Structure formats: structure tokens, C-alpha cells
Amino acid sequence: MTSFSTSRRTRRALPALLASSVLALGLAGCATAEPAADADTPAAVEPALTIVASTTHTAEFAERVAGELAEVTALIQPNQSTHSFDPTAADLQALAAADVLVINGAGLEEWLDDAVASSGFAGETVDASEQVGLIEFAAEEAHGHEGEDAHSEDAHVHEGEDAHAHEGDDHAHEEDVAAASTEEELHSEGDDHDHAHDGGDPHIWTSASNAAAMVQAIADGLAAADADNADSYEANAAAYIAELEQLDAWITESISAVDPAARTLVTNHEAFGYFVDAYDVTYVGAIIPSFDDNAEVSAADIDSLVDRVRDAGATAVFSETTLSPAAAETIASEAGVQVFSGEDGLYGDSLGPAGSPGETYIGSMIHNVTVLVTAWGGQIAPVPADLAE
């Protein structure tokens, strides 16, 4: 900001032309001067951390925890498949410059080790799955297609347990994890990039209580990376976790009001195991009987699923927003049931683009539950005001 004025009065009379020129210059300078900054206007916060997050879910969780204290870049974009992701040169550049990498963990990001090595990333890695008890995946037996309880009760976080209680122990659920995989520890200490599935389902965010545990793990990780702002990360996480607890209660209330016999789920791939467990839903099967949505599907797989749909009395097949609905439409047609896809599809591996119901994690869960409960012939509970904004 620059202004011009005469600096002192001279004792000699100036020629009239010169005086008027100086006066004009002074007025012009004053006219273009910017007003002084308001002392009450808060200064822009300089980001303390540069964060890269692997998925749309971890990116949102990191943004909610960090607030204005970090810049967050998501590698996977809305409606992209997590399993088929291939980082671009720009992704690798962002990773190379990051202070912190936030990952889903639990074996989801099979491409991550190569990306880290290629980028030269040397920052801190925060594994959002560290405080979640993983459930085991065992192909056909994993979900009890004949209506049996799909998962061992000891292999996941029960409703009512404090999924995000950590009290300084980043491995608060080691016993649960051990129950899910007795052959190998799923989160080996000292190895931030242990991405083998080892039988554990990596789609941990599909229950709201697990999402709360992920948020807490991210808060702990950011606090360790930036101790000066630890209190802010913890406060932001606590506020968000309170919303997730409301969400969890709302989902439970909405689904519990539906006849248990009607709560059947058929999806594109094995991505909703934690949802099924947390909210007492009968899992019938997936079009792709795999965690990987790129896995091949045989005619025998389709015929088997059609039979299970009929035997279970399921009334609908639910496609996912990141996948083609063609196979879901075929199975629904052969089984004589409805198919929900496109705008009515479920948000699974990815959140949706800006302006969609799945733009946020809470929005995606509200959408999914609304679609499911409506398809099952029920009516959702009123959405809490804090979540409807």
C-alpha cells in the first residue's frame, strides 16, 4: 500500500504550476490508498501439515480432524474404484511433498507400497484401521448364506462397545484382531505399510462406530505428527465423533423398525460386512464374491446367487455407485426382484461427487440406509437436525 504526500513545507514560495502538480500527485496517492486492515479480522491460518489421504473416506475424516490446520489431498476421487486405482504423476508428486499420509489400512490399498516407493514419500503414515477389530472373510462361509450369523461375535466391535476408546493404546482391539486372523498379526508393529488382507475385511467404514474409531486413530496420528496442535485435533475429532454416534443411533433405530425377515442385502461385491454385523442385516451374497470389485464373475457364480436370492426371499439387488449395474440388473431380472442402481445405488468404496447425497460420509450413510429401509418396506426414523444440515 503506497501513498504520496508532501513531506515538509518549504520556506520559499513555489511556482504556482509546480505547487499544483505536487498537490495533484498527493491527492491521487491518497485516493488510491487501501484502508488499513481491521484489527478484529482474524489472520489466515497457516497450515501446519500437508496431508495426503488414500481414499475419499480418509480424506474427509482427515479434513474434519485437521480443520484449517492442514491441507488435505485425496488420491482416490469420488466414484473411483479403490481396488483398480492407479496413481498419476501428479498423485506421486503430492505424496512426495506430504508431511503425513492417512490410509484406510487393513489391506485395502494394495497399490500403496509401490506408490510410496515411487514417490519417495518420507513423512509419517497414519493407519485409520488401527483401532478397529477386523472381521474375517472366508468366501462362501463368511456371511452364512443360509441365514446363519455371518461373522464370529468375537471378530468385530459389538454395538454398545466404545469403538474409539483408546486411552493411549493404539492397539486397543488387538484381541479382536487376533480372533479375526490367527495366522498373522494384521497390524504388525514397525510396518506402516502392511497391506496383506490376511482374511480381514478392509471395508471398515461401513459401520458408523468403525468410522468413529477411524477418526480417533487419525486424530492420534496427527497429534503425534504435530504435537503443538494436538488439542485442536482432539477437539475436532470429539465433535465429529459425536455426530457419528448420532448417525449410528439413527441407523440402528431406522433398521430395527423393519421386519428382520425383510432385511436382506445383495450387493455388487463383498463391501458391507461391517454394516451387516453392526445393524443386524441378513447378508445374502454378492455378485462378485470377493473384496476386489475387479474380480472375475462366472456364470456359475451368477446362477448360485440367483438361487440364494430366491431362497432368502430377498426383494431387491443393490448396485454400487462405482460399478456398472449391468450384472445386478441381470441377476435381479432372473430372480424376479427389483434393482437399485444409479442415483439409487449404494455408496460403497467411494463417496460421491460434490452436490450428490454421498458428498460426505454422513450423507452417504443416510442415503444408503434410506434406500435400503425404503426397499425393505420400512420408513426411516427422523434424521437428527445436526446431521440433516
Domain containing 63 — which CATH number? Answer: 3.40.50.1980
**Band (384; pLDDT cuts 50, 70, 90):** very high
**Domain match, 234 and 268 both:** no
Q: What is the pLDDT of residue 198?
A: 52
Are residues 256 and 372 located together in one domain of the fold? Answer: yes
Sheet containing 70-74: which strands, arranged edge to edge?
70-74, 49-53, 100-103, 124-127
Report the range of poorest mean pLDDT among 121-135, 152-166, 336-350: 152-166
| Same domain as 365, residue 219 | no
Q: Are residues 216 and 82 in the same domain?
A: yes
Q: Could you list the residue range(s) of the whole structural domain that residue 127 is in? A: 49-246
Amino acid identity at 388: A
Same domain, 132 and 215: yes
> Is position 8 within any domain?
no
pLDDT confidence bin for 3, thresholds 50/70/90: very low
With cut-offs at 50, 70 and 90, classify the pLDDT of residue 254: very high
Domain assignment of residue 30, yes or no: no
Three-class SS of residue 50?
strand
Of 246, 273, 292, the domain-final residue: 246
**Is 44 inside any structural domain?**
no
Residues 188 and 313 in one domain: no
**How is 291-336 classified by DSSP, letter by letter?**
S-TTS---HHHHHHHHHHHHHHT--EEE-BTTS-SHHHHHHHHHHT
Q: Is there a domain that residue 22 lies in?
A: no
Based on the domain organization, do 367 and 290 belong to the same domain? yes
If asked whether residues 149 and 96 sit together in one domain, one would say: yes
Among 190-204, 205-219, 359-373, the least confident range: 190-204
- Domain annotation covers residue 37: no
Q: Is the domain of 77 the same as that of 143?
A: yes
Q: Tally the domains of the chain.
A: 2
For CA atoms 281, 285, 286, 292, the dihedral sign is positive
Higher-confidence residue of 288 and 365: namely 365
Asked whether residue 240 falls in the same domain as residue 258, the answer is no
Instruction: Choose among 30, 300, 330: nearest CA to 22.
Output: 30
Q: pTM above the 0.85 mark? A: no
Mean of pLDDT values over 297-308: 88
